[in-house]
Structure 1
């Protein structure tokens, strides 16, 4: 936000929304007692924070937090937001864990794409359809309710649908994604997966396998045009589902992946239509649903 002054104001009377800049990651690092497995201090800290700003400034109370937003990609972001009732039910929560079964409200909350930031430089791109000999690929830990089903049916069983729990030493995860037409993105402990972003970066058509997940930017992006959604129940039939997509249809989908790629890029400074602008647009759309009554 410091790099994009056009969309930021320090005049509260001009602001559409107010950012709550607390970090769940920092709270976990410094407050969570790992050996005690007690997450209550996270909620207590959030409660103290909201009580502080609501007592110090008038803007929270006029809408009960409805024109305020928080952001967290930590798994415990939704839990921490439950530290204050109005933050949980009124405010705009920008969360990677966009799980409707855990009170994520798509009409008010914003789905944040999950991503592993290993480097400041993200190398994007990959071969065209003709340069991808594998049908589908996944490698990852066996956790959550979805991946055990995927591994049970497909782990090391088919050269076209390559599903691995762990890759052998020396085998490149990125290169296998680039060799695959479809990149499988099953949920783990949480509904979101960084593989969706990775697939888009490497021009691989994402295949999401999850339940209750609100896909990022689905207000404006037609995910069915550039990805495949598969239910957990259809995992045994996964290969037939992907094989039923004609070469011509696949080429169109892959080209659309390339088209939407810019909406998932992290740039510094931000560029038009990139991840930063898409997030702010999603927040702005939800702010339109809030009517602020002028104070006397």
Structure 2
């Protein structure tokens, strides 16, 4: 029998890697691949090319030079930090920049400055769909991620592993409601718990040259194991 391992499940125990995801095509083999096999793509994934019940996204890189636990005497100088290109809503960025409680990057900073800003801020803002590459670094430095979005996020990295509600805050992006955003963040009474859990979770965002237990590579492999045979569609008859 040709392709016995594929034919026994029609690809339900297979996976493929595609940075931008695959479209549904008319070719039968491509359709079976898309419908049955697990797609691994970047985060955030293009909405029309991501199937939440089976596909997964790769955790953004988090460097190994950050501490594994926040300092006991950690005192944040700023309420929030907005990395360059992490928030595209210009009105919100402008309004947040009018005060002194947010650091707003107008251009990319060097690594040392970037890490210092993470370590000195309570919250780090990320607009869903913008540059979210600093998400893992934020967790590692105890800067609680605030995800700005007006729709459900179904492609968060490590959805089968992490309880995102315990390490991040999801806030609606209401066209520049800076005052409301600051109010929500200022009243959050679980920040220390979120920070502690986030720092612990950050080990799962670390990509090592030689994989280590509980790092990003192992967590991706674990998700693949969990999602094998998630669903299998019948073969289409031409």
Calculate the TM-score normalised by the size of structure 1.
0.65
Cα deviation code 1:29-73 (max 9, x no counterpart): xxxxxxxxxxxxxxxxxxxxxxxxxx963322333322210124x
Of residues 119, 130, 142 in structure 2, which corresponds to 1:178?
119
Find the aligned partners of 1:172 and 1:142 in 2 and give their Cα distance.
16
Which residue number corresponds to residue 281 of structure 1? Answer: 222
Cα deviation code 1:197-245 (max 9, x no counterpart): 1101222111112344321122231111111111212851211111011
SS at match of 1:232: coil
SS at match of 2:138: helix
Of residues 174, 181, 185 in structure 2, which corresponds to 1:242?
185
Bigger Rg, which one: 1
Find the aligned partners of 2:220 and 2:185 in 1 and give their Cα distance.
31
Find the aligned partners of 1:203 and 1:56 in 2 and give their Cα distance.
52
Question: Would you say how many aligned residue pairs link Structure 1 and Structure 2?
Answer: 225
Superposition pairs of residues 56-71 of structure 1, within 5 angstroms: 57-71=3-17
Find the aligned partners of 1:170 and 1:197 in 2 and give their Cα distance.
14
Greater share of residues in helix: 1
Find the aligned partners of 2:91 and 2:33 in 1 and give their Cα distance.
36
Gaps of 5+ in 2: none
* Counterparts in 2 of 1:188 and 1:167: CA distance versus 1, 3 Å: same
Of residues 143, 147, 160 in structure 1, which corresponds to 2:101?
160
Which residue number corresponds to residue 145 of structure 2? Answer: 206
Which residue number corresponds to residue 24 of structure 1? Answer: none
Find the aligned partners of 2:138 and 2:110 in 1 and give their Cα distance.
22
Find the aligned partners of 2:24 and 2:73 in 1 and give their Cα distance.
43
Which residue number corresponds to residue 150 of structure 1? Answer: 92
Q: CA RMSD in A?
A: 3.2
Q: CA deviation at 1:170?
A: 10
* Counterparts in 2 of 1:169 and 1:70: CA distance versus 1, 3 Å: closer
Cα deviation code 1:5-39 (max 9, x no counterpart): xxxxxxxxxxxxxxxxxxxxxxxxxxxxxxxxxxx
* Counterparts in 2 of 1:150 and 1:95: CA distance versus 1, 3 Å: farther
Q: CA deviation at 1:101?
A: 3.1
The answer to whether residue 111 in structure 2 is matched with residue 111 in structure 1 is no
Calculate the TM-score normalised by the size of structure 2.
0.79
Higher RCO (CA-CA < 8 Å; seq separation 6+): 2
Contact (CA 8 Å) 1:187, 1:209: kept in 2 or not? yes
Find the aligned partners of 1:187 and 1:89 in 2 and give their Cα distance.
25
Superposition pairs of residues 1-296 of structure 1, within 5 angstroms: 57-72=3-18, 74=19, 77-79=20-22, 84-99=30-45, 101-115=47-61, 122-125=64-67, 127-128=71-72, 130-141=74-85, 146-154=88-96, 156-166=97-107, 172-189=113-130, 193-210=132-149, 211-213=151-153, 214-233=155-174, 236=177, 237-246=180-189, 249-290=190-231
